Structure 1
C-alpha cells in the first residue's frame, strides 16, 4: 500500500488553516498514487498551543472530523490525523483514521504522555491496541512517545498489526528515536512503522523532522530531512510475509518467562 507521510507543522493555533494544508497534501498524495496519508501528532491544531488545547479540542465526530471525511472522499484516500479530542470533561491526545469513502474507521488516545506539558493538558488513553483492516493490511495506531515502549509495539505485533501509524512531535535532543529506535521497533516486531513528525519551533520545542517509513528488515523505505515534506513509500504485504517467515523473534518468544517482568 502506497503511504504518504506529511511532515509539517501547519499553522499552530489555526484548525482552519491546517485543514487547508491537509487538503492540499491529500491532493498531491492521491495524484502520486497513495492510498493513505498520515499527519503528525496534533496536526489539526498545533502541538505547543498551551491552553488552546482545551479551547480547540473537538469530539471524534466533530466538525473537523466531518471536514476530513469530506476531503478524504473527494481525494479518494484514507487519512490518519492527529488532533486534541474532547470527551466529556477530558481532553485526549488522539489520532483518527478515516477511510477513502469518508467513514471513521478507528480512533486512538495516546496512552503514554510525555513531559509536563502533556500531563497538564491531556488525559491518557486506556486502550493499548487499536487497529483496523485497510487496503489488505492490518493497520494499528499509536502516538509518538508510545512507540518508545517496546511492550506496546510488541502487543501490536501479537495482535497482527502489519503497518503501525505513529503521528509524532519528536523534538531535539531526541532525534535518535527517529533515526535508530523506530527502525529497530519495525525489525524486532516485524511490521512496517510510519513515523510522521512535526518540524520547526513551537514555544519551547524544536521539532526535528526525520519522518520515516521503516520496514520489517529495519531499513527505512523513505526518510525526510528537517523541513516540510511529503514522503511516499510502499508497505508491501508480500515482503512483510517473507520477512516474518525468515525472522524467528515472534515464534521464539517464551511468554512463560516474562510474567514477572510486567
Structure 2
C-alpha cells in the first residue's frame, strides 16, 4: 500500500488548508496513494494560542464534511490534525476520514508543555487501531510517540503502521532523527511521522518527516525546511521478516513487567 506524507507550514487559514488538502489529495491519488497524512493541528495551525477554542470544530463539522468529500472524490483516506470541540472540552485531535465517509477521531493523550495543557483536555481513551484495506493502522499525535509504551501497545494489538501527525519544533530534532526510528525498530512496525515546517510566533518546526520501516530505516525523509509530498510503499511482509531477525515482541518477558 502506498502512503503519502504531507510536510507543510500550512496556509494560515482553515479554508486555505482545506484547499491545500484537496490539492495534495489529488496529487497523492494520482500516484496511487491510499492514505494521505498531514501534520498535527493542520487545519488551523498549531501555535494559535487563544484562538484555539474559537477555531475548534466537531467531527461532524463543516471542515470534516469537506474532508469527507475530498476523500470520496479521490478515493483515499485522510488523516490530519485539528482542534476538536466535544462535550464542552477542546482536544488536540486527529481525524481519520475514509473514502466512504467513515470518520474516526483520536484525542492526544500526552499533552506537551503548558501551552497544550492550557488549551486542551487530555484524551481519555486508548489510541485506536483502524483497518485500511487489511492494513492495521494505529494513531498517535506528536509527543505520544516519544513514550515507548504507546507504540508498543499498538504493536501488540496488531498494528502494521503507526501514523503520527506532529508539530515537532526546535530544539527537539533528536525525536525525528533518533526516537522515531527506534520506535519502529523496537516494535517491528512502520511509523509515519509527519511534521510541520516554518515558524509560528516563537516556534520553529524542524520538518524531517519520514516513513520509517520496521528495520528502523527511513523509506523516505524530508529535509528540515521544505514543503514536501512524499509517497512510499508499505510492505507488510517486511514486518514478518524483521521480526524473525529481531524477535523483540516474541522474546519480551511480560511476566516481569506490569
Q: What TM-score comes out, normalization by structure 1 length?
A: 0.96
Using the TM superposition, give the Cα deviation of residue 229 of structure 1 relative to its aligned residue in structure 2, in angstroms. 0.5
Partner of 1:16: 15
Using the TM superposition, give the Cα deviation of residue 249 of structure 1 relative to its aligned residue in structure 2, in angstroms. 0.3
Cα-Cα RMSD: 0.9
Alignment partner of 1:67 is 2:66: yes
Using the TM superposition, give the Cα deviation of residue 96 of structure 1 relative to its aligned residue in structure 2, in angstroms. 1.1
Partner of 2:146: 148
SS in structure 1 of the partner of residue 71 of structure 2: helix
Partners of 1:131 and 1:49 lie apart in 2 by 29
Partners of 1:241 and 1:134 lie apart in 2 by 19
Using the TM superposition, give the Cα deviation of residue 129 of structure 1 relative to its aligned residue in structure 2, in angstroms. 2.5
Partner of 2:122: 124
Using the TM superposition, give the Cα deviation of residue 48 of structure 1 relative to its aligned residue in structure 2, in angstroms. 0.8
Partners of 1:88 and 1:111 lie apart in 2 by 16
Partner of 1:93: 92
Aligned pairs for 1:57-206 within 5 A: 57-104=56-103, 106-206=104-204
How big is each residue's C-alpha offset from its partner over 1:112-135, in whole Å with a ceiling of 9 and x where there is no partner?
000111010000102122111102
Alignment partner of 1:256 is 2:235: no
Partner of 1:4: 4
> Which segments of structure 1 move beyond 6 Å, counting only runs of 4 or more?
none
How big is each residue's C-alpha offset from its partner over 1:15-56, in whole Å with a ceiling of 9 and x where there is no partner?
111000100000110111111000000000000111111001
SS in structure 2 of the partner of residue 73 of structure 1: helix
SS in structure 1 of the partner of residue 43 of structure 2: coil
Partners of 2:27 and 2:101 lie apart in 1 by 18
Q: What TM-score comes out, normalization by structure 2 length?
A: 0.97
Partners of 1:128 and 1:19 lie apart in 2 by 28
Using the TM superposition, give the Cα deviation of residue 240 of structure 1 relative to its aligned residue in structure 2, in angstroms. 1.6
Partners of 2:181 and 2:249 lie apart in 1 by 17
Partner of 2:205: 207
Partners of 1:100 and 1:182 lie apart in 2 by 28
Q: Which runs of 5+ in 2 are unaligned?
A: none
Partners of 2:244 and 2:99 lie apart in 1 by 31
Using the TM superposition, give the Cα deviation of residue 136 of structure 1 relative to its aligned residue in structure 2, in angstroms. 1.8
Partners of 2:156 and 2:236 lie apart in 1 by 17
